[in-house]
């Protein structure tokens, strides 16, 4: 098993490199960039991005443009001009690192990333790591609660549907989860705001933020309640479409196992239905469901929260990535991509280990050999 884990870890390197190469090449083909955006700001033709220019760090490989030559003074000198001095544009390109060819910038960037040096944001006065750490609590909260509640509801519901396959209970619960799956999370979020956050009817839950303004002055138990109070609506909005896939996967897994020969043999030996279900069927049927937990969390954490964060004014990773793309903040874009892809690849290995923990009979090393 150790040899298998080492092989998987070694495979992470070319996979991560390939993903970074593809995304870097795509970004080079996209019109605009940090230099063009800065020129637009200096000449009064700003693109209306969500984040204001407040500073930066080194080049594209290690951060922002060294505060971009005292931007406030430069903006005052060049704003409203019909054009910019070509020498100044060349200097701007040098400050951002765009005086080098693309392949050289990519290699420098990857060299810094291998040392986990992600530099500073071009248009914020903070490091990439600092920004990610600052926004992480919101996204972790949404992803973790969504995944946990989805599993807590979907697994018992899927087992119940498998046991009562074809009954009215199975039919109407399938209808409910499918309708929920068809409703976009952002649309359901708006409905929740209208109903329960002072939109038109009730003012029960807060409309924005992860905690209240006076959170740090509250006693510990009140902090917990305040946090959970703020989590109700955004987590509910993300949950509505999460039940269908896992519920049907659980049901189908149990149905497949229930119809196998060893279940018939266990029943023939006089074992009770509950003992057959939870002692023999459960471990085999739940293998794919439980082992998929890390991947489910990663999916909820990275992909499911952007619109919900915007609607509920939650300043998390999704909103940060959106602003980085809008502002052409390359250090923030590539830094977060590198971290999240690396984290996702490692979690894939954790998923394989989870298979072994659930069923020790699985031997990936033997299969690989």
What is the C-alpha to C-alpha distance for residues 336 and 4, in angstroms, rounded to an integer? 28
The b/e string for 233-245 (b: 16+ C-beta within 10 A; e otherwise) is bbbbbbbbbbbbe
Please state the φ and ψ torsions of residue 197, each to the nearest 5 degrees: -120, 35
In this structure, the number of other CB atoms found within 10 A of the CB of residue 6 comes to 10
Q: Select from 332, 328, 305 the least CA-distant residue to 318.
A: 305
Task: Delimit the domains of the chain by residue range.
Answer: 35-126, 134-327
What is the C-alpha to C-alpha distance for residues 291 and 349, in angstroms, rounded to an integer? 11
Looking at beta carbons, which pairs linking 115-118 to residues 24 or more positions away fall under 8 Å?
117/62, 118/62, 118/63, 118/331, 118/335, 118/338, 118/339
Please state the φ and ψ torsions of residue 319, each to the nearest 5 degrees: -65, -35
Q: How many residues are recorded in the chain?
A: 369
What is the C-alpha to C-alpha distance for residues 355 and 5, in angstroms, rounded to an integer? 13
C-alpha gyration radius of the chain: 26
Burial of 34 (0-12, 13-18, 19+ CB in 10 A): buried
Element (H, E) at 32: none
Instruction: Please give the full DSSP string across 271-314, using - where no structure is assigned.
Output: --HHHIIIIIIHHHHTHHHHHTHHHHHHHHHHHS-HHHHHHTT-
What is the C-alpha to C-alpha distance for residues 333 and 339, in angstroms, rounded to an integer? 10
DSSP 8-state assignment for residue 327: T
Print pLDDT tens along the chain (369 aa). 677 778 888 888 899 999 999 988 888 877 777 777 777 766 766 554 443 333 333 344 444 444 444 444 444 443 434 466 777 777 777 777 777 888 888 998 899 898 888 888 887 778 889 888 888 888 888 888 888 888 889 888 988 898 888 899 999 999 998 888 888 888 888 888 888 887 677 888 887 778 888 888 888 989 999 889 988 988 888 888 788 888 888 888 888 888 888 888 888 887 777 778 777 787 777 777 776 676 676 666 665 567 788 888 788 887 887 888 888 888 888 988 888 888 888 887 887 777 777 666 666 655 555
Is the domain spanning 134-327 CATH 1.10.3720.10? The answer is: yes
């Amino acid at each position: 098993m150790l040899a298998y884990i080492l092989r998987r870890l070694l495979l992470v390197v070319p996979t991560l490199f390939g993903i970074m190469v593809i995304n870097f090449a795509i970004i080079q083909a996209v019109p605009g960039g940090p230099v063009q955006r800065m020129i637009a700001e200096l000449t009064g033709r700003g693109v209306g991005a969500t984040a204001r220019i407040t500073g930066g760090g080194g080049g594209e490989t290690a951060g922002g443009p060294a505060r971009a030559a005292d931007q406030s003074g430069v903006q005052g000198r060049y704003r409203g001009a019909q054009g910019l001095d070509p020498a100044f544009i060349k200097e701007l390109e040098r400050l951002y690192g765009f005086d080098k060819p693309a392949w050289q910038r990519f290699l420098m960037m990857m060299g810094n990333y291998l040392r986990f040096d992600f530099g500073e944001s071009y248009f914020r006065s903070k490091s990439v790591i600092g920004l990610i750490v600052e926004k992480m609590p919101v996204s972790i909260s949404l992803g973790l609660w969504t995944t946990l509640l989805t599993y807590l509801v979907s697994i018992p519901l899927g087992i119940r549907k498998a046991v009562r396959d074809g009954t009215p209970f199975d039919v109407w619960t399938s209808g409910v989860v499918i309708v929920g799956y068809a409703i976009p999370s952002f649309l359901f979020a708006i409905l929740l705001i209208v109903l329960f956050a002072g939109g038109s009817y009730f003012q029960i839950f807060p409309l924005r933020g992860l905690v209240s303004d006076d959170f740090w002055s509250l006693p510990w138990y009140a902090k917990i309640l305040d946090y959970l109070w703020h989590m109700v609506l955004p987590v509910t909005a993300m949950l509505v479409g999460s039940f269908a896939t896992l519920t049907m996967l659980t049901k189908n897994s149990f149905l497949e196992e229930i119809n196998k020969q060893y279940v018939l043999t266990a029943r023939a030996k006089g074992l009770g239905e509950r003992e057959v279900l939870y002692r023999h069927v459960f471990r085999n049927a739940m293998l794919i469901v439980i082992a998929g937990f890390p991947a489910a969390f990663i999916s909820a954490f990275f992909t499911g929260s952007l619109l919900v964060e915007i609607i509920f004014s939650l300043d998390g990773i999704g909103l940060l990535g959106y602003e980085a793309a809008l502002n052409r903040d390359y250090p923030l874009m590539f830094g977060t991509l590198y971290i999240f892809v690396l984290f996702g690849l490692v979690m894939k290995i954790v998923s394989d280990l989870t298979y072994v923990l659930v069923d020790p009979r699985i031997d990936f090393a033997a299969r690989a050999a």
